[in-house]
C-alpha cells in the first residue's frame, strides 16, 4: 500500500479492504431505519433481508458498539498483502483459525476502553474474566452513557442480557460472528462487492495520484467532502496512520475502525470514481450536501431555519412540520453532518441554526461545476 505523508504524527494511505467494507455495510444496514441519505442499495437490502439474518445483524452490530476496537482487530489484524483483503473465503478462513478465547479477550479489552472513554470507573483486576454481575453493570452503565451522548441510541440498543452473555462466553460470540459474515456474504453482499470492486480500485488510484497536504482536517475534507467531526478529532490523539477505504454504499457518511496506532476510514467511492478528476475534486465536496438537500422535508427544515429568529430546537421543528422525534433527529442529523446547519447545547437542549458560510461554499462550488460562476 502506498503511503502519503500527513501531519507529523499521522500518515495517510488508500486501499480496498473487503473486511472493512463488509463490516461497514453491516453497520449501515443496522442503521438504515434511523438515518437519512443512505445509498439505495442499503435501503433495498435492509428491506429484503430474511428476518433471522436481520435480527442477528441488529444483535451483533449492537454488541460491537460496546467494544468497537474488536471490529478494528477483525479488519486490521493481518498483513497488508494478505489475500483476506480481497477474498471472502480467505478472510473467513483466517477468522475461523482464531481461537474463541481471542475473540473474548479482544471484546473485553474493547469494553474496558469504552468504559474509560466514557469516564465510567469500572474495571476488573487480574487475568481472569470478569464476573457476570460486573459485566451486566458495565453494559448497563455504558448504555446509559450512550443514551445521553446520542439520544437516538435507545432505538438501536440491542437486548442487554444478550450483550452481557456474549461478553461472558467467547465460543458463541465467535460462532455467531462467523455465521453472520457467511450468511450476509451469501445472501446479500457477494454480488454487490464484486460489482463495486472496479469502482473502488479506480477510487484508490485516483487518490493515490494526488497530494493532500496536512493538516489532517484538510486532508479529511478533501478526501471525504466532510468536515472533521470533533469526536473523531479526539480519537486521533493516539493514531499514527490512517488508511482510507472506499465504499460504494456509504452515501454522505463515513465509518471508522480504530486500533491505536492505526485507523481505517470508509468513505464514499462514487464521488470520484464516477467523475474522475472532475474540477479538482468539486464533485467530492458537493456530493454530501447535495445528497442532503435532495429531500422535501429537509428543504422545509432549512426554510424554517432561514426564517427563524436565530435558532430552533428539535421540538420546534417537530411541532412546525408535524414530524416525530426520530424523523426530526434523522433529518437534522444529516443536515448537520454535511455542515449546512450547526448546533449547540443550551440547558441540555440542542439548538440548530443555518451555517451561511457553508451554504455559500456549496453554491459557489455548484456554480463552478455548472460553469455559471
Residue 304's pLDDT is 86
- Distance, CA of 129 to CA of 168 (rounded, Å): 8
Sequence-separated (6 or more) residues with CB below 8 Å from residue 99: none
User: For residue 364, what are the CA distances in angstroms to 196, 285, 358?
Assistant: 31, 11, 10
C-alpha cell at 295: 429531500
* CA angle, residues 325, 326, 331, in degrees to nearest 5: 100
Residue 248's pLDDT is 92
Beta strands 262-268 and 255-259, pairing class: antiparallel
C-alpha cell at 242: 490512517
Residue 184's pLDDT is 97
Fold of 278-369: Arc Repressor Mutant, subunit A (1.10.10)
* Cβ neighbours around 211 below 10 Å, total: 8
Percent of the chain as helix, strand, coil, to the nearest 5:
60, 10, 25
Q: Where are the domains of the chain?
A: 3-270, 278-369
CB 17 within 8 A of CB 75: yes
Residue 270's pLDDT is 82
CB 108 within 8 A of CB 130: yes
Residue 279's pLDDT is 46
Residue 284's pLDDT is 63
Residue 102's pLDDT is 97
pLDDT along the chain (373 residues), means of 10: 56 97 96 84 93 95 95 96 95 98 96 92 77 91 85 71 94 98 96 92 91 92 87 92 96 92 94 51 72 85 81 87 84 86 84 87 80 62
Beta strands 241-247 and 11-14, pairing class: parallel
CB 111 within 8 A of CB 167: yes
- Distance, CA of 91 to CA of 104 (rounded, Å): 19
Residue 308's pLDDT is 66
Amino acid at each position: 500500500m502506498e503511503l502519503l505523508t500527513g501531519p507529523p504524527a499521522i500518515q495517510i494511505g488508500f486501499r480496498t479492504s473487503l473486511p472493512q467494507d463488509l463490516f461497514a455495510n453491516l453497520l449501515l444496514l443496522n442503521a438504515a431505519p434511523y438515518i437519512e441519505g443512505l445509498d439505495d442499495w442499503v435501503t433495498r437490502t435492509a428491506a429484503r433481508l430474511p428476518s433471522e439474518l436481520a435480527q442477528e445483524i441488529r444483535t451483533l452490530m449492537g454488541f460491537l458498539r460496546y467494544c468497537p476496537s474488536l471490529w478494528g482487530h477483525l479488519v486490521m489484524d493481518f498483513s497488508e498483502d494478505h489475500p483476506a483483503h480481497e477474498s471472502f473465503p480467505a478472510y473467513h478462513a483466517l477468522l475461523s483459525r482464531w481461537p474463541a478465547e481471542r475473540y473474548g479477550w479482544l471484546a473485553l479489552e474493547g469494553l474496558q476502553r469504552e468504559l474509560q472513554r466514557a469516564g465510567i470507573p469500572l474495571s476488573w483486576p487480574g487475568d481472569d474474566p470478569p464476573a457476570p454481575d460486573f459485566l451486566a453493570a458495565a453494559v448497563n452503565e455504558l448504555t446509559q452513557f450512550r443514551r445521553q451522548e446520542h439520544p437516538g441510541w435507545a432505538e438501536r440498543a440491542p437486548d442487554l442480557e444478550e450483550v452481557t452473555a456474549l461478553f461472558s462466553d467467547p465460543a458463541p460470540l465467535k460462532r455467531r460472528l462467523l455465521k453472520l459474515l457467511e450468511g450476509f456474504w451469501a445472501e446479500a453482499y457477494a454480488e454487490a462487492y464484486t460489482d463495486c470492486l472496479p469502482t473502488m480500485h479506480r477510487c484508490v488510484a485516483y487518490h493515490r495520484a494526488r497530494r493532500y497536504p496536512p493538516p489532517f482536517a484538510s486532508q479529511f475534507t478533501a478526501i471525504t467532502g466532510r468536515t472533521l467531526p470533533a469526536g473523531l478529532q479526539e480519537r486521533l490523539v493516539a493514531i499514527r496512520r490512517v488508511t482510507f477505504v472506499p465504499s460504494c454504499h456509504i452515501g454522505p457518511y463515513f465509518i471508522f475502525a480504530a486500533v491505536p496506532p492505526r485507523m481505517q476510514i470508509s468513505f464514499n467511492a462514487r464521488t470520484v470514481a464516477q467523475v474522475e478528476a472532475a474540477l479538482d475534486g468539486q464533485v467530492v465536496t458537493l456530493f454530501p450536501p447535495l445528497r442532503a438537500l435532495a429531500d422535501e422535508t429537509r428543504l422545509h427544515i432549512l426554510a424554517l431555519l432561514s426564517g427563524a429568529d436565530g435558532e430552533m430546537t428539535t421540538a420546534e421543528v417537530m411541532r412546525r412540520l408535524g414530524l416525530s422525534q426520530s424523523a426530526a433527529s434523522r433529518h437534522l442529523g444529516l443536515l448537520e453532518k454535511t455542515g449546512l446547519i450547526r448546533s449547540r447545547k443550551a440547558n441540555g437542549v440542542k439548538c440548530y441554526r443555518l451555517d451561511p458560510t457553508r451554504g455559500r461554499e456549496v453554491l459557489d462550488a455548484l456554480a463552478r461545476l455548472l460553469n455559471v460562476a
